[in-house]
Amino acid sequence: MRIDALTYPALLDCIAEMIGEGTPHQIATANPEFVMLAQRAPAFREVLERAELCIADGVGLLWAARRLGRPLPERVTGSDSLPLIAARAARQGWRLYLLGAAPGVAERTAAILVGQYPGLQIAGVYAGSPAEGEAPGIVGRVRQARADVLLVAYGAPAQDLWIARHRQELAVPVMLGVGGTFDHIAGVQRRAPRWLQRLGLEWLFRLVTQPRRWRRQLTIPQFVWRVLRSRPDPQTP
């Protein structure tokens, strides 16, 4: 699976370029669970292969890349990208649409971001749902809002499959799955403290605070095992 070797400034430059081009682009925030799911589910794999960018949201990808001889410059998470995107959007006039999370959470997130980045233009907010029956209504709302960046918080992999299914009709230049990011910004769900993130243990914090994730996170030891058994990438210079 391709993971793009990016830093935060490089991601923002890519986003600026995508907005300049104006055609639909998809960005996936990948982690080890993504890699393992992509191996089991060809449709998900195809979505990630077609996404214009797959950023290394999970620390396990940095470890794996280093071990396989193709180190990545840094972890680039959806949660930390959103405030940076909002800051740049406020300066450059990009319009953000916040889709997903529980009712009211996207509104609260938008209000917080506008407070932090005066001048930020919010094209729209809507909770909606990734259910197919709701898609035509949501696509209509988003199209009408003429957003430059669509942030979709339906959780992985639903958000990434949803963006891929509707990317042409949505026709937003940048569409990014952001998982629990609105919950973190709105204060609905606590994010791991920085020191735990620095230790590379955010995944453990999430497992303890959201035990319903255990089934999904069972794939992490499988990922570690697969990486340990893999040979370094022969393309290494």
Work out how close the CB of 150 gets to ligand UDP at its nearest, in angstroms, rounded to a whole number: 14
- Give the separation between CA 52 and CA 176, rounded to whole angstroms: 10
What SS3 state is found at 73?
coil
> 24 and 167 in contact (C-beta within 8 Å)?
yes
Pick one of 179, 203, 220, 223: the residue that binds ligand UDP (CB under 6 A). Answer: 179
For residues 98 and 151, the answer to whether their CB atoms sit within 8 Å is yes
Task: Kindly state whether residue 156 participates in binding ligand UDP, applying the rule CB under 6 A.
Answer: yes
Does position 101 interact with ligand UDP (CB under 6 A)? The reply is: yes
The reply to whether 153 sits near ligand UDP by the rule CB under 6 A is yes
User: HSE-up of 110 (CA within 13 Å, CB side)?
Assistant: 21
Under rule CB under 6 A, residue 183 binds ligand UDP: yes
Whichever of 4 and 183 has its CB closer to ligand UDP, that residue is: 183
Q: How far, in whole angstroms, is CA 95 from its chain's centroid? A: 18
Q: Which stretch binds ligand UDP (CB under 6 A): 20-28, 39-47, 82-90, 179-187?
A: 179-187
**Does position 32 bind ligand UDP by CB under 6 A?**
no
Distances in Å between the alpha carbon of 187 and those of 52, 109, 184, 195, 203?
A: 30, 9, 5, 19, 18
Smaller CB separation from ligand UDP, 94 or 182: 182
| Residue 130 touches ligand UDP, criterion: CB under 6 A | yes
Minimum CB separation of residue 200 from ligand UDP in Å reads: 17
| Least spacing, CB of residue 179 vs ligand UDP, in Å | 2
Indicate whether 180 belongs to the interface with ligand UDP (CB under 6 A): yes
Binding-site member from 154, 162, 203, 223 for ligand UDP (CB under 6 A): 154
Q: How far apart are CA 138 and CA 143, in angstroms?
A: 9
Among the listed ranges 45-53, 114-122, 147-155, 194-202, the one in contact with ligand UDP (CB under 6 A) is 147-155
- Rounded distance between C-alpha atoms, residue 81 and residue 104, angstroms: 21
- Is 155 an interacting residue with respect to ligand UDP (CB under 6 A)? yes
CA separation, residue 61 to residues 35, 71, 135, 227 (Å) = 9, 9, 32, 10
CB of 84 to ligand UDP, least distance (A): 18
Query: Binding to ligand UDP by residue 124, rule CB under 6 A?
Result: no
Tell me which residue of 43, 67, 118, 38 sits closest to 228, measured CA to CA.
Answer: 67
Q: Quick check: 190 and 165 in contact, CB under 8 A?
A: no
* Binds ligand UDP by CB under 6 A, chosen from 1, 41, 43, 102: 102
Site residues, ligand UDP (CB under 6 A): 100-102, 129-130, 153-156, 179-180, 182-183
